């Protein structure tokens, strides 16, 4: 039998031995995220997770996939790759909890021109950190080297999460009623949206570098832009165990104007009070330096609110207190009002 050599493949830009070394490096990071349902170790063809007796009468699997967009470019400029994985997990798990799902397991896809072991290991460390925050098991992924498709040093990320929920407790917005109050949970910053515009303003229009200090922000450009997306899993699931929540909104791309209507039933509109929460300085900086119309800001960015919960009026104070006790910074930011035929499912931000 002819011996197969990987040298020609390596010369073409794909190093199989380096890929195997990468698996060895991250095995411990991955194993640290595993919960009781994980059956196999990393390195197989598939990740196995046993639902078993999860305590659900009629369980439903709830899945989501997402990426982190051009925030990856900022990580590259800063040569800091150990938090972008937290963003990846956050964008996925924050999507499934809005349906009331508990995240079970996570998979990632990492593609580059040529595998940089230190860079890729740092990325997976961040993914593992995000999974631990979410109490979600990292059970597998794919690492692809594609020279000629990606430029040297560039990489791309995608994440996939599967959660579980009780069918009769799924939150889909159908229980939202006129009079419900809207509680907003503070974001950690920009999260992972609008970075094509953010980069244009910081790096093109203002010609700033990632190490430049910005007085208005109280930190460097890189420190501000790489703040990890906040993960709301533990606090939201705890509140759901204790209170009736009629709707949850992950405030991501599209901001308030695109995300809030996604869960509103017919006959309802959301009315938000502009000055009811604290807006982080980065958003005022972007608006003024980039000369962005204020309404566009609320459609592009989270403006300091990363998650919203819609609850009955008589539970507002209790829910606010519990979110605070769980480490969140909650604000009462608006309410649901009756909508006319012409403005059904719209969002009105009073004071804008």
Q: What's the rounded Cα separation, in Å, for the pair 251 and 260?
A: 8
DSSP state, residue 10:
H
35 close to 135: Cβ distance less than 8 angstroms: yes
Q: What would the two tokens of residue 297 be? A: 């800001």
Q: Are strands 268-273 and 219-220 parallel, antiparallel or unpaired?
A: unpaired
In this prediction, residue 153 carries a pLDDT of: 86
In this prediction, residue 13 carries a pLDDT of: 64
Q: Nearest CA to 350 among 286, 277, 272, 283?
A: 272
10-residue mean pLDDT series, the chain (352 residues) = 54 69 82 85 80 83 96 97 98 98 96 93 96 95 90 93 95 96 98 97 98 98 98 98 98 95 94 96 98 96 98 97 98 95 81 80
Angle at 66 between CA 255 and CA 42, to 5 degrees: 150
Handedness of CA 75, 80, 81, 84 (dihedral sign): negative
In this prediction, residue 7 carries a pLDDT of: 58
Helices (H), 158-272: 195-199, 221-225, 233-242, 255-259
DSSP state, residue 4:
P
Q: What's the rounded Cα separation, in Å, for the pair 240 and 174?
A: 16
Which residues, 6 or more positions from 201, have their beta carbon under 8 angstroms from its beta carbon?
Answer: 286, 289, 290
Q: What's the rounded Cα separation, in Å, for the pair 93 and 103?
A: 6
Beta bridge pairs of residue 160: 65, 107
Residue percentage of the chain with pLDDT more than 90: 78
Beta bridge pairs of residue 102: 164
In this prediction, residue 1 carries a pLDDT of: 42
Domains of the chain: residue spans and CATH: 13-169 (3.30.1330.10), 181-350 (3.90.650.10)
């Amino acid at each position: 039998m002819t011996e197969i050599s990987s040298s020609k493949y390596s010369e073409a830009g794909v190093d199989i031995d380096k890929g195997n070394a990468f698996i060895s490096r991250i095995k411990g990071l991955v194993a640290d995220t595993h919960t009781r349902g994980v059956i196999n170790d990393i390195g197989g063809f598939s990740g196995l997770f046993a639902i078993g007796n999860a305590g659900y009468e009629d369980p439903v699997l709830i899945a989501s996939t997402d990426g982190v967009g051009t925030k990856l470019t900022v990580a590259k400029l800063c040569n800091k790759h150990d938090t972008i994985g937290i963003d990846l997990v956050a964008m996925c798990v924050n999507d499934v909890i809005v349906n009331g799902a508990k995240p079970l397991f996570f998979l990632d896809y990492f593609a580059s021109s040529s595998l940089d072991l230190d860079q890729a290991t740092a990325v997976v460390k961040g993914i593992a950190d995000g999974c631990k925050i979410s109490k979600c098991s990292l059970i597998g992924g794919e690492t692809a080297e594609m020279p000629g498709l990606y430029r040297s040093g560039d990489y791309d990320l995608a994440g996939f999460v599967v959660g579980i929920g009780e069918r009769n407790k799924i939150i889909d917005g159908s229980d939202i009623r006129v009079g419900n109050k809207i509680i907003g949970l503070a974001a950690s910053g920009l999260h992972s949206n609008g970075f094509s515009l953010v980069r244009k303003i910081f790096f093109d229009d203002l010609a700033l570098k990632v190490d430049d200090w910005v007085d208005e922000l109280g930190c460097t450009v890189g420190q501000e832009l790489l703040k990890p997306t906040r993960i709301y899993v533990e606090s939201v699931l705890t509140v759901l165990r204790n209170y009736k929540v009629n709707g949850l909104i992950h405030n991501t791309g599209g901001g308030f104007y695109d995300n809030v209507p996604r869960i509103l039933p017919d006959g309802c509109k959301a009315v938000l009070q502009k000055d009811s929460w604290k807006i982080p300085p980065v958003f005022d900086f972007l608006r003024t330096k980039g000369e962005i119309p204020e309404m566009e800001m609320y459609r592009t960015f989270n403006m300091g609110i990363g998650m919203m919960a819609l609850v009955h009026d008589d539970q507002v104070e209790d829910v606010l207190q519990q979110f605070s006790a769980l480490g969140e910074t909650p604000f009462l930011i608006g309410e649901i009002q009756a909508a006319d035929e012409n403005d059904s499912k719209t969002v009105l931000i009073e004071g804008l």
